[in-house]
Each structure stands twice: as C-alpha cells, then as structure tokens.
Structure 1
C-alpha cells in the first residue's frame, strides 16, 4: 500500500444486514487477515435487534417483545440497533496504527463529536461512560472487541430511526437514560450522508500523529 493511500477501505453494505451474520463475517475476516491486510471500515444498518455485550445482564432487557435478543462478544451492556441508525465497524490493526483500546474509543467518540459539529450540534463524551451525548441524552454508543491485536464491532449513531425500542431496555445498563438522534436536532441528514462524513473524519484523525501521544482525558 502506498504512503498516500487512504488508511482503510470503506465497505458500504446495502440494505439491512442481519446481525449474527455480520458478526460472523467480522470474526472470519479478522481471523483471516495477515500483517499486510489493508484495514477496512464497514458501514451498514441492522434490522431491529437488541444486542448484549460481554458484560450484559438480562435484567436490563425489560420488554423485548418480538425484537430478537442476540448475545455479542463486544464490550459493554445492552443496546438496540435498527433501521435509520448508522453502524460503523472499524476493522483496524491496532499494532499498525499505534492505537490502544482507550485511544481508539476516544478517537471514535471524537469522530462523532466532529461530525455532529458539522451539523451544528454540540456533543461531548463522558468520563467512564463510553459514547457520545447531547446534553443529557445519548446519541451514539460504542462497543469493541480486540482479537489478535485487531478491532471489530464499533459505533452506532442514531440518525433517523424509531427510538421506541430503547424504552424496552436500560440502554447501556442505565435505567432511564434518555436517547436522542440527529433528526430530532436537525433535518435532512441521512444515514448515507452521515457515513460519508464520518469516514472522512476518521481518515483525518487516523492520519494525525497526536492520536498516539497519550491517553485522552477521562480515560480509564
């Protein structure tokens, strides 16, 4: 790969991608990669599904109804995925990028913060509570898995979706946590728009030497 080539290949997966099948595909791709395999970032949407992270507890799923509950191998508690939510799965070789897990989490949060700033939305991270928040409401969640020094899973940004299923769970293990989305704050932003802008921001941040200098404030 030449020095001026983008640091990753973007794969836009069409339609609604089945969660268990996507999880299996990420694992297989990660297991098959070699030292010179180019990193990829997958952009997609899932059909309605609740996912439990490795620390997930079933008591945080209050009333799933007909929405399936899937055990995942990412970090974190329970969350909801559905149409109108941008899913970004960065499949990165952390040894090659020089990133640790904490710095990768901070970088992904910063991508969302910078993206929302483009739309005039002021957002921030919270110490010890991964994700991105607008005022008191969560707008993006994060969960990662590191396998053989490489990352998969990633982030979910609520763009223009039905938020009702979040009321059926304690999002990320927090009872009563408010959830918001881009469409409640500005109009006209699509999942595709957000995906294009966010991957451009991610490319810029990965190219910055500052990301490998130190742990971010509030990291734990």
Structure 2
C-alpha cells in the first residue's frame, strides 16, 4: 500500500498533529459520503511530540483533577501537556525520542477488519524493530513487547466508518522517566523500553520512511 507521507519535522504539539489528522479523516469520510468526489490518497502522519500524556476513549471524562495535576506537574525532564483522545487504550505518553505514526485510510478498501488492522500495525512495528536487531513479540496485552514485562510500542486506534486514525507510538530513544507516572497498558508491574535501551539505534533520525511503509 502506497501512503502519502506527511512528516512533521522537529518537535510538534499533539494538538497540531491531531488537527491535521482530523482534516484528513474528514476528507476521506466526505468522499465516502459522496463517491463522485475524487478520493484522497491514503496517508500517514509521522511526528515527535512535545511531552504529552493522552488518555484513550474509555478514560475520557474520568481523569480527576488530582490525576491531571500529577501528570502535568513539572519534572526534571520538563513539563507535559494532557489531552483526551478517541483512540482505544488507556493513558500513555508521547514525546521526544518516540516516533508516532498515524495511518489514515479506508480499511474496507483493503479488506481489513479492525482486529486484522491492529495485528497488521503490530507486525509493521515488529519488522521495523527487527531491522535494528531488536527482537519483539506480541503478548496477551496490547502493543509490541520485547518480553513479557517490557513494552516498546503502544498501539491505539480509532475507526469511524472503517476510516482509521491514531496508530502507534514506537519508543526509539524516549526518556523512560516520563513513564514513571503511568502504568503501561494500565497493567501493574509492566515496564517500558526503547530501541536505544535494547541496543538498536542511537536516534529517531535513523528510522527511515521505508521502515514504516504499510504492506498488508
């Protein structure tokens, strides 16, 4: 599958990437509602965000003021923002050193169910990690893991009329200190890791566009 790659250079805000994503989703939905219009190309947004915690749709409206204050309190690493998101999953972190990728396309045109799509995203991430000699796996929990205890990539998607949004957050050289305020997948005792900690890469710039090409 060829995707129109929209890479947001340097660090960008979650709000900016989210607005761009919403625009692309709206265009695709408009085409589905009126197929006589030209179809927009399948796209993928890639970015590194300024520090931000986001919660998935199951937690929207449930974050208490105390929890919000805890997540956004200043740290030696800086200060994070907070946003609610439509994706699945629970609270996670996005920030410098993490490569976030949001594919936006019509699953039905590629004969993908929601379950197959998530499996497909995980497989893409696992192939990328393998190119840097980092062995990964699936577990009974969401995302991509290096072992049963360490998660290297979060996966959280949203589908509307089979149009995808949100996607994956691969820890390349992310400061693990940011994850101390949350639990990976909401699972007590689980940890996060990165390609750097696994000896894979030394910078996000080493991950090339081709590594993230979706190929169902």
The TM-score with structure 2 as length reference comes to: 0.84
Say if 2:164 is the partner of 1:139. Answer: no
The answer (yes or no) to whether the contact 1:61–1:170 under 8 Å persists in 2 is: no
RMSD: 1.9
Alignment partner of 2:4 out of 3, 9, 30? 9
Give the distance between the partners of 2:17 and 2:6, measured in 1 at CA.
13
Say if 2:97 is the partner of 1:84. Answer: yes
Distance 1:143 1:187, change over 3 A: closer
Say if 2:85 is the partner of 1:94. Answer: no
Alignment of structure 1 residues 68-83 onto 2, 5 Å? 68-83=81-96
Once the two structures are superposed, residues 107-145 of structure 1 have per-residue CA deviations (whole angstroms, 9 ceiling, x without a partner) of 110111111112111110113x22000012000001111
Q: Runs of 4 or more off by more than 6 Å in structure 1?
A: none
The TM-score with structure 1 as length reference comes to: 0.83
Query: What is the CA-CA distance between 1:176 and the residue it aligns to?
Result: 2.7
Structure 2 unaligned residues grouped into runs of 5+: 33-38, 75-79
Query: What is the CA-CA distance between 1:75 and the residue it aligns to?
Result: 0.8
Once the two structures are superposed, residues 42-100 of structure 1 have per-residue CA deviations (whole angstroms, 9 ceiling, x without a partner) of 11111100000011253795831142221111111000011010001101111111111
Alignment of structure 1 residues 56-71 onto 2, 5 Å? 56=59, 58=63, 63-64=70-71, 65-66=73-74, 67-71=80-84
| Structure 1 counterpart of 2:48 | 45
The answer (yes or no) to whether the contact 1:46–1:81 under 8 Å persists in 2 is: yes
Alignment of structure 1 residues 188-207 onto 2, 5 Å? 188-200=201-213, 202=214, 205-206=215-216
The answer (yes or no) to whether the contact 1:54–1:76 under 8 Å persists in 2 is: yes
Query: What is the CA-CA distance between 1:32 and the residue it aligns to?
Result: 1.7
The answer (yes or no) to whether the contact 2:195–2:201 under 8 Å persists in 1 is: no
| Structure 2 counterpart of 1:214 | none
Say if 2:22 is the partner of 1:27. Answer: yes
